[in-house]
């Protein structure tokens, strides 16, 4: 499924980065059914040469969440299926083929925050603000928000956002864990792209472990987590690429030392 509201651009030579852009600025990148399906299919359709992705939004805002104009006519059964459709799409973001960096600015609200929460790294510029207006619209989150957002900021903060309509500023969002990076106005995309380029140069198996093993290990009881970690570590270090990278360090090859930034 494609949508005129989603633009995909593959950049770079070897380890490519996909730039996935919401292009529905007139409606503040509100996500209708066609757009959520296009987001789902965008990740499945990425060429194997792509190693990381950046997702951002055209115009003044990252994303105004669910397209409320489509909400009016749904009954309970349709509402259930609609929410499950969002789950399937955002599952492809979090557990898809490549790490995804969100470049945030302006409104990151409702389903927009759910989309951002499914990404692996969030970079926010100073215009960013976060809200969950579902509370004031008489609805509930339906795009994995009740699962992913408490894992970022805790259930108490999410309850506050939904019950009181609290709007979180860019600075506060970085402090409480909604974004890992806070950057000057207008520079979120550049920073996200720079990070994606760096992430794309990692060994693919390391990125795979971070995307697929780490969140599962974090949910396991410690004893099981330790065991899963050992299995993942053994698989990762057995890859020829890992052996080469370690050899490069031991031979003092340029650019492999940890540097203070
Ligand atoms: C929309 C939507 C939308 C804008 N659905 N059409 N999300 C919300 O409750 C957030 C609703 N939106 C807003 O609060 C504001 O639009 C913004 C703060 C994001 C931006 O404000 P502003 O002044 O720049 O834009 P605007 O004038 O409010 O909106 C411009 C147009 O976009 C306008 O349409 P127009 O035809 O009159 O030009 C708006 O109607 C339209 N628009 N946001 C539909 N969300 C998986 S479940 C997830 C549940 C949720 O996400 S609920 C939260 C929904």
User: In whole numbers, what is the pLDDT of the chain averaged over residues?
Assistant: 95
pLDDT: which is higher, 65 or 3: 65
Give nearest CA residue, ligand 1 atom 34: 27
**Distances from the Cα of 101 to the Cαs of 19, 160, 173, 228, in angstroms?**
10, 26, 16, 26
Share of the chain above pLDDT 90, in %: 85
Report, as an integer, the average pLDDT of 11-22. Answer: 92
pLDDT of residue 79: 93
Name the residue with the closest Cα to ligand 1, atom 32: 27
For a mutational test of ligand 1's pocket, the pick from 5, 25, 26, 28, i.e. the residue with the most ligand atoms closer than 8 A to its C-beta, is: 28
Give the lowest-confidence range in 76-80, 127-131, 156-160.
76-80
Domains in the chain, ordered, with CATH? 6-200 (3.90.226.10), 204-250 (1.10.12.10)
32 pLDDT higher than 80: yes
In the sheet with 129-131, reading across from the earlier edge strand, the strands are: 107-109, 129-131, 168-169
* Amino acid 1: pLDDT: 82
pLDDT at 188: 98
Report d(CA 117, CA 62) in Å as an integer: 13
Residue with tokens 């929410």: 83
* Rounded percentage of the chain residues whose pLDDT exceeds 70: 100
The torsion angles phi and psi of 95, rounded to 5 degrees, stand at -110, 30
Question: Which residue's alpha carbon is nearest to atom 23 within ligand 1?
Answer: 28
Reported confidence tier of residue 92, pLDDT bands at 50, 70, 90: very high
Phi and psi at residue 104, in whole multiples of 5°? Answer: -105, 140
Which residues contact residue 246 at a Cβ distance below 8 angstroms, ignoring those fewer than 6 apart? none
CA-nearest of 140, 131, 44, 162 to 92 is: 44
Q: How far is the CA of 28 from the centre of ligand 1 (A)?
A: 6
pLDDT at 254: 67
Distance 136 CA to ligand 1 centre (A): 13
Residue having the nearest C-alpha atom to atom 18 of ligand 1: 107
CA of residue 250 to ligand 1 center, whole Å: 54
Has residue 74 got a pLDDT over 90?
no
54 Cβ partners below 8 Å, 6+ apart?
A: 17, 18, 19, 20, 100, 101, 102, 103, 189, 192, 193, 196
With 90 as the cut, is the pLDDT of residue 259 above it?
no
Please state the pTM of the whole predicted model: 0.96
95 Cβ partners below 8 Å, 6+ apart? Answer: 211, 212
Q: In what order do the strands lie in the sheet with 6-11?
A: 6-11, 16-22, 50-57, 100-104, 121-125, 181-183
Mean pLDDT confidence for 236-243 = 90
> What would the DSSP string read from start to end of 33-102?
HHHHHHHHHHHHT--TTEEEEEEEESTT-SB--B-GGGTTT--HHHHHHHHHHHHHHHHHHHTSSS-EEE
Confidence category of residue 257, pLDDT binned at 50, 70, 90: confident
Other residues' Cβ atoms within 10 Å of the Cβ of residue 22 = 28
Pairing state of beta strands 100-104 and 121-125?
A: parallel
Protein residue closest via CA to atom 25 of ligand 1: 28
Residue 223, judged by CB atoms within 10 A of its CB (0-12, 13-18, 19+), counts as exposed
Enumerate the active-site residues.
Answer: 114, 134
Q: How far is ligand 1, taken at its centre, from the CA of residue 159, in Å?
A: 22
Band the pLDDT of 41: cuts 50, 70, 90: very high
For residue 108, pLDDT beyond 90: yes
How many residues does the structure list for the chain?
261
**Could you tell me the distance, in angstroms and rounded to a whole number, from the CA of residue 10 to the centre of ligand 1?**
29
> Which numbered atom of ligand 1 lies nearest the CA of 66?
51
pLDDT in tens, 201-235: 999 999 999 999 999 999 999 999 999 999 999 99
pLDDT at 255: 75
User: Ligand 1: residues whose CB is within 6 Å?
Assistant: 27-28, 30, 60-61, 64-69, 86, 107, 109-111, 133-134, 137, 141-143
């Amino acid at each position: 499924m494609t949508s005129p509201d989603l633009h995909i651009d593959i950049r770079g030579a070897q380890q490519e980065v996909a730039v996935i852009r919401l292009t529905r600025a007139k409606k503040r990148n509100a996500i209708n059914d066609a757009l959520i399906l296009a987001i789902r299919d965008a990740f499945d359709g990425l060429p194997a040469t792509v190693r990381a992705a950046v997702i951002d939004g055209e115009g003044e805002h990252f994303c105004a969440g669910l397209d409320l104009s489509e909400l009016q006519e749904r009954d309970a059964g349709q509402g259930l299926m609609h929410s499950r459709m969002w789950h399937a799409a955002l599952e492809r973001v979090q557990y898809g083929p490549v790490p995804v960096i969100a470049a945030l600015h302006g409104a990151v609200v409702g389903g927009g925050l759910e989309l951002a929460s499914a990404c692996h790294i969030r970079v926010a510029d100073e215009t960013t603000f976060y809200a969950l207006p579902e509370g004031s619209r008489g609805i509930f989150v339906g795009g994995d928000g009740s699962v992913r957002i408490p894992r970022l900021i805790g259930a108490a903060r999410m309850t506050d956002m939904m019950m009181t309509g609290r709007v979180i500023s860019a600075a506060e969002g970085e402090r409480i864990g909604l974004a890992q990076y806070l950057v000057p106005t207008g520079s979120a995309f550049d920073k996200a792209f720079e990070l994606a380029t760096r992430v794309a140069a990692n060994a693919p198996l390391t990125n795979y472990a971070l995307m697929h093993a780490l969140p599962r290990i974090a949910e396991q009881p410690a004893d099981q987590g330790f065991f899963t970690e050992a299995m993942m570590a053994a698989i990762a270090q057995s890859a020829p690429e890992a052996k080469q990278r370690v050899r490069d360090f031991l031979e003092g090859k340029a650019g492999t030392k940890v540097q203070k930034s």
